[in-house]
């Protein structure tokens, strides 16, 4: 009996339908359950239980006239952008105030402590405010409120532990605090949705898309400001350093919420965001084109560079940094390249993508193990400095993620590998979060 037939027979029995759904999620067949609900709803459009399930699973249950859809979308977009613009201007003004008379850059040695500690929490709070004003569901509002309190508490502790310091510990806090506040935002949008782990994976993908959108805004802003200053220079007017600092702080404050509003729809869960159009589609195409060259570069690393220059990362810190940066970049590439819910491939293309992902994961694991051996050796010979402490932990975290996700990808069924990989990454994202918290909360006391 197909899942659709089971749903049809169970319709009217809400308890049995709930059991079917939970079993489908447990078996990794949530998409099949959604499809069954969708098919049943098409045959029984007046069924209230099926309509309720369609709303719960973010399935479009009704055929709405195009004119009405356009009006609703236009109204929603106007409100969303008005909120985004107002919050962005306020955040830009706060960045100017926090930067003071120093550059608006997240480096303890150069920036005002208010800025390098506060820029990421302020950005996170602005994003949470934007989400709460656009997505007004009560359960979401509670999660946004909890996330806000968590971010404030962690930021206060980070400020207490590193205020006025410019040492390695302060630099590590400056690097890890943005990651923690980002992860907290992820929790606020992923929790209380079906299949939380895949929701968090989808949040990772949307985060990369938002960063790319922010990069586009930055490029546009730099070009505009460059042309503007050039025109005034021709007229004999040069902008002072104070004006340049103010524009920089305002610009980087305005961009984050606008970038998010450009690519993320707060009314639906991360897993149901559109990934087949616009910037998301470009990112998908680009990363899949890069997968083969990345696999080739990894092969060169593993089979030629490491045997030929085996001891270089053990002796040269810069080489080890490049290795670790490569590992992070490849993991990000693997996250983006996995197909989303709306994407359908032929069996051959799907199989090719699966084995390319598996090969890339295996080679990255080898490179990660090699980098871990190098940092252990450097720590044994030179002692456990704060930087080595952080890098050692990150190497272990990424190694565990690569081992688990690669093994699960290897043993998964050919038609379920995307879901299995996504869920495994979502499950183990807790490890880098824990390690970042350790760096912020515990490392200052060593």
| 33-85 pLDDT tens trace | 777 777 777 777 767 777 777 777 766 544 444 444 444 344 457 888 999 99
Is residue 220 one of the residues assigned to a domain?
yes
100 three-class SS: coil
Q: How far, in Å, CA of 391 to CA of 341, rounded? A: 35
Give the pLDDT mean for 347-364: 88
Which pLDDT belongs to residue 12? Answer: 63
Regarding whether 263 and 286 lie in a shared domain, the answer is no
Is residue 342 one of the residues assigned to a domain?
yes
Closest CA to 184 of 133, 135, 136, 128: 128
Regarding whether 115 and 222 lie in a shared domain, the answer is yes
Regarding whether 404 and 308 lie in a shared domain, the answer is yes
Give the pLDDT mean for 378-399: 92
Regarding whether 232 and 143 lie in a shared domain, the answer is yes
Distant-in-sequence, close-in-space partners of 255: CB < 8 Å, separation ≥ 6: 88, 214, 217, 218, 221
Q: How far, in Å, CA of 326 to CA of 58, rounded? A: 37
Is 55 within 8 Å of 61 (Cβ atoms)? yes
> Of the residues 271, 301, 322, which one is the last residue of a structural domain?
271
Please tell me which residue, 108 or 76, carries the higher pLDDT value. Answer: 108
Is 115 within 8 Å of 248 (Cβ atoms)? no
Q: What is the mean pLDDT of the chain?
A: 85
- In degrees, rounded to 5, the angle at the alpha carbon of residue 39 between the alpha carbons of residues 37 and 43 is 110
Question: Looking at the 3D structure of the chain, how many domains does it have?
Answer: 3
Is residue 357 one of the residues assigned to a domain?
yes
Is 432 within 8 Å of 179 (Cβ atoms)? yes
Owning domain of residue 394:
274-445
Is residue 266 one of the residues assigned to a domain?
yes
DSSP class of residue 106? S
Q: Is 193 left (phi over 0), alpha (psi -120 to 50) or beta?
A: beta
How many DSSP H helices and E strands does the chain contain?
A: 18, 0
435: tokens are 């390690």
Q: Would the pLDDT of 172 be above 90?
A: yes
Give the pLDDT mean for 319-337: 90
Which pLDDT belongs to residue 63? Answer: 45
Give the pLDDT mean for 149-162: 93
Regarding whether 217 and 128 lie in a shared domain, the answer is yes
Regarding whether 292 and 383 lie in a shared domain, the answer is yes
Is residue 425 one of the residues assigned to a domain?
yes
Which pLDDT belongs to residue 79? Answer: 85
- In degrees, rounded to 5, the angle at the alpha carbon of residue 363 between the alpha carbons of residues 204 and 367 is 90
Q: How confident is the model at residue 18 (pLDDT cuts 50, 70, 90)?
A: confident
Is 127 within 8 Å of 257 (Cβ atoms)? yes
Is residue 394 one of the residues assigned to a domain?
yes
Is 343 within 8 Å of 277 (Cβ atoms)? no
Is residue 61 one of the residues assigned to a domain?
no
Regarding whether 192 and 286 lie in a shared domain, the answer is no
Regarding whether 263 and 292 lie in a shared domain, the answer is no
Regarding whether 297 and 201 lie in a shared domain, the answer is no
Is 112 within 8 Å of 99 (Cβ atoms)? yes
Is residue 297 one of the residues assigned to a domain?
yes
Give the pLDDT mean for 188-215: 89
pTM for this model (two decimals):
0.79
> Of the residues 220, 251, 271, which one is the last residue of a structural domain?
271
Which pLDDT belongs to residue 13? Answer: 66
Regarding whether 126 and 164 lie in a shared domain, the answer is yes
Find where tokens 């305005």 sit. Answer: 254
Distant-in-sequence, close-in-space partners of 218: CB < 8 Å, separation ≥ 6: 251, 252, 255
Q: Identify the weakest region by mean pLDDT among 24-38, 91-105, 146-160.
A: 24-38
Regarding whether 214 and 306 lie in a shared domain, the answer is no
> Of the residues 271, 300, 325, which one is the last residue of a structural domain?
271
Give the pLDDT mean for 12-31: 74
Q: Would the pLDDT of 360 be above 80?
A: yes
Q: Would the pLDDT of 217 be above 90?
A: yes
Q: How far, in Å, CA of 380 to CA of 75, rounded? A: 62
Regarding whether 266 and 198 lie in a shared domain, the answer is yes
Please tell me which residue, 414 or 182, carries the higher pLDDT value. Answer: 182
Is 375 within 8 Å of 392 (Cβ atoms)? yes
Instruction: Give the best-scoring range by mean pLDDT among 67-81, 329-343, 386-400.
Output: 386-400
Q: How confident is the model at residue 153 (pLDDT cuts 50, 70, 90)?
A: very high
Which pLDDT belongs to residue 1? Answer: 54
* Cβ neighbourhood burial of 206 (10 Å; 0-12, 13-18, 19+): buried
């Amino acid at each position: 009996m197909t899942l659709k037939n089971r749903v049809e027979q169970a319709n009217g029995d809400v308890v049995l339908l709930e059991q079917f759904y939970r079993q489908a999620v447990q078996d990794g067949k949530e998409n099949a359950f959604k499809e069954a609900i969708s098919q049943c709803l098409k045959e029984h459009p007046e069924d209230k239980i099926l309509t309720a399930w369609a709303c719960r699973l973010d399935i479009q249950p009704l055929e709405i006239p195009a004119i009405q859809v356009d009006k609703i979308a236009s109204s929603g977009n106007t409100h969303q952008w008005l909120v985004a613009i107002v919050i962005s201007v306020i955040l830009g003004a706060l960045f100017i105030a926090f930067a003071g008379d120093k550059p608006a850059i997240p480096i303890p040695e150069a920036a005002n402590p208010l800025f390098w500690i506060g820029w990421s929490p302020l950005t996170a709070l602005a994003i949470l405010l934007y989400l709460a004003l656009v997505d007004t569901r009560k359960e979401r509002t509670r999660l946004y409120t909890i996330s806000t309190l968590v971010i404030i508490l962690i930021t206060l502790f980070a400020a207490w532990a590193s205020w006025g310091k410019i040492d390695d510990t302060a630099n590590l806090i400056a690097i890890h605090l943005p990651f923690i506040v980002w992860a907290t935002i992820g929790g606020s949008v992923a929790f209380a949705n079906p299949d939380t782990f895949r929701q968090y994976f989808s949040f990772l993908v949307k985060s990369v898309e938002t960063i790319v959108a922010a990069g586009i805004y930055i490029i546009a802003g730099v070009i505009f400001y460059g042309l503007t200053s050039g025109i005034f220079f021709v007229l004999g007017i040069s902008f002072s350093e104070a004006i340049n600092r103010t524009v920089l702080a305002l610009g980087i404050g305005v961009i984050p919420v606008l970038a998010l509003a450009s690519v993320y729809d707060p009314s639906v869960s991360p897993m149901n965001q559109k990934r087949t159009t616009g910037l998301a589609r470009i990112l998908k195409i680009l990363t899949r084109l890069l997968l083969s060259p990345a696999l080739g570069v990894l092969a060169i690393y593993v089979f030629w560079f490491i045997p030929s220059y085996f001891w270089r990362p053990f002796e040269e810190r810069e080489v080890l940094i490049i290795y670790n940066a490569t590992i992070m970049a490849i993991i990000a590439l693997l996250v983006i390249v996995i197909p989303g819910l709306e994407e359908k491939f032929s069996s051959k293309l799907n199989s090719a993508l699966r084995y390319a992902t598996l090969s890339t994961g295996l080679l990255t694991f080898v490179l990660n193990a090699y980098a871990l051996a190098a940092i252990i050796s450097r720590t044994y010979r030179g002692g456990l400095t704060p930087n080595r402490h952080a890098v050692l932990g990150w190497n272990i975290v990424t190694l565990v993620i690569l081992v688990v996700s690669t093994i699960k990808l290897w043993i998964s069924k050919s038609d379920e590998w995307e879901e299995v990989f996504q869920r495994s990454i979502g499950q183990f994202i807790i490890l880098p979060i824990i390690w970042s918290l350790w760096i912020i909360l515990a490392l200052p006391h060593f």
